[in-house]
Amino acid sequence: MPLSLDLQSLRHAYAEGDLTPVQVIGLVYERIERYADPAVWIYLAPQAESLAQAQAVMEKGAAEQPLYGIPLAIKDNLDWAGVPTTAGCPAFAYVPEVSATVVAKLIAAGAIPIGKTNLDQFATGLVGTRSPYGVCRNPFDPDYIPGGSSSGSAVAVSAGLVSFSLGTDTAGSGRVPAAFNQIVGLKPTRGYLSTQGLVPAVRSLDCVAIFALTCADAQAVLDVAAGFDPLDPFSQTPHWQDLPPRVRVGVPPLAQLDFAGNGVAAHNYDRALQRLADLGCTLVTMDLEPFLAVGALLYEGAWLAARTAAVGDFLRQPQAGVDPVVRQIILAGQGISGVKVFQDMHHLASLKRQTEAQWEQMDLLALPTTGTIYRVAEVMANPVALNRNLGRYTNFVNLLDLCALAVPSGLQPNGLPTGMTLMAPAGRDRGLCAWGHRYQESLGGTLGATGIAYGGIHP
């Protein structure tokens, strides 16, 4: 059986002396060469450099490094010292002198960065098709989109090329690709992971996301990466809050759900809810409408101007390699008035109060990650509307400062995966991971597209 790169399996192999980090990094590069999808990577570290890093990790020892010898991929809108950051746009590229805070923390903990991954340009999109570096192949079916904007980060984990990866999430970019690649995507509470060294999309909403094969792995990375950073004006000290032993899970009525005609995705969602009930959760009906109204503000309201503020000056100049859809979306915010900003801020406050009333009746919210998945050709023909459809269950999360965990929910007859997302109020990230772990243990299945059974990893 091929080696699984989940943390549990690698830690077991290291502890037993079966493998060393140098050997694992050699295996990783063999897999990358065999995988032969260059669109996953914007930058791949020379193998000799990664092997030298692995040797340095070994010399320091496992005791002081909680991520000892764990291979990592980094979305290319996060800085890695000495390596170009492109945000998916060659003309925008610069070479940072220091790594993003979260990248530096992971490397210090023994993780070994392998490369920087492809993305929807300027992290604008949920599709994975808006990059001059090409479209990453969905490892389950290359005719279908990999999801975005963190496309390469998700594919690298799903294909077994790295153990975990960093993405980012403003509107769902850390969750949609997880669903389409049958992996776990954790969108932490805003400010719990530093965004210093991140090319911004919407500064006040941006989160660094974690992609992993298991919920336990996602929590292990979270525990290392989280923490206050004085260099990030939106950073905060994590205040973890527990979930009750028996949780109430909010579920919207059928009339508020939209699967775009995908009956199998609807069926898998129902089965996932039943699995939660079998684990002891109480399913309660909730009203999704105020959440959806919040989501509409992200691309139809004042927050679009935040994207213009982030990179609008660059995009106003004639630049080669800029995706026309990305340019159109980002520059659409330049006409938003100050009056509109305050109107939408007040509207958000009103809607947030309505959602807070919902949380008095539930501890978790369980929704489909997306209603369906699209072919690459479909998205190319209708890029804005189909992208909007994919954000139905994701766009409101950051505006409401929820934490969210995308988990697999099963496979369709055509072999494509579907996903469910568990959400909770800020600070309950660890509780989400714990419930996600219980759910994933019950679900079983395979780890990403590796073909390795979840139950087949070492205890």
pLDDT tens for 307-355 read 999 999 999 998 888 999 999 999 999 999 999 999 999 999 999 999 9
- Look at residue 458 and give its three-state secondary structure: coil
149 is annotated as an active-site residue: yes
Domain ranges of the chain: 7-245+368-456
Average pLDDT estimate for 234-246 = 95
Q: Structure pTM?
A: 0.98
Cis preceding linkage at 165, omega within 30: no
Sign (positive/negative) of CA torsion 329, 307, 302, 203?
positive
The CATH superfamily label for domain 7-245+368-456 reads Amidase signature (AS) domain (3.90.1300.10)
**Confidence check: pLDDT of 376 > 90:** yes
343-346-347 Cα angle (round to 5): 85
- Report in angstroms the alpha-carbon separations of 166 from 2, 195, 210, 308, 319: 24, 12, 5, 24, 28
Instruction: Let me know the angle formed at the C-alpha of 268 by 166 and 251, rounded to the nearest 5 degrees.
Output: 85
Q: What mean pLDDT is predicted for residues 128-132? A: 98
- Nearest alpha carbon to residue 161 among 186, 136, 141, 142: 136
Range 291-315 average pLDDT: 95
pLDDT per residue as tens digits for the range 43-65: 999 999 999 999 999 999 999 99
pLDDT at 415 over 60: yes
Sign, CA dihedral 88-45-150-364, equals negative
Mean pLDDT of the region 183-206: 99
| Mean per-residue pLDDT of the chain | 97
Catalytic residue among 4, 150, 173, 409: 173
Active-site position among 75, 105, 116, 187: 75
pLDDT at 301: 87
Measured CA distances, 76 to 43, 95, 131, 331, 366 (Å) = 8, 12, 12, 22, 30
Q: Which residues pair with 211 in a beta bridge?
A: 165, 185
State how far the Cα of 37 lies from the Cα of 135, in Å rounded to an integer.
Answer: 9
Q: Maximum Cα–Cα distance for the chain, whole Å? A: 64
Asked if pLDDT for residue 455 goes beyond 80, the answer is no
Regarding beta strands 41-44 and 248-251, do their DSSP bridges make them parallel or antiparallel, or are they unpaired? unpaired
Percent of the chain with pLDDT over 70: 99
β-strand 207-212 against 164-169: which pairing, if any?
antiparallel
Could you give the CA distance from residue 300 to residue 191 in angstroms, rounded to a whole number? 24
Position 459 pLDDT exceeds 60: no
Average pLDDT over residues 150-167: 99
Whole-number Å distance between alpha carbons of 37 and 137: 7
Q: Measure the CA–CA gap between 388 and 390, rounded to whole angstroms.
A: 5
DSSP state at residue 91: G
Catalytic (active site) residue 131 = no
β-strands 111-117, 41-44 pairing:
antiparallel
In 188-290 the beta strands, taken as DSSP E runs, fall at 207-212, 248-251, 282-285
Residue 458's pLDDT band (boundaries 50, 70, 90)? low
Average pLDDT, integer, range 113-118? 99
Task: Tell me which of 9, 50, 149, 151 is the catalytic residue.
Answer: 149
> 285: pLDDT confidence band, cut at 50, 70 and 90?
very high
At 456 the pLDDT is 63
Q: Is the confidence at residue 302, as pLDDT, over 80? A: yes
Which pLDDT score is estimated for 457?
63
Give percent of the chain with pLDDT exceeding 90. 96
Q: pLDDT tens across 207-220, in order?
A: 999 999 999 999 99
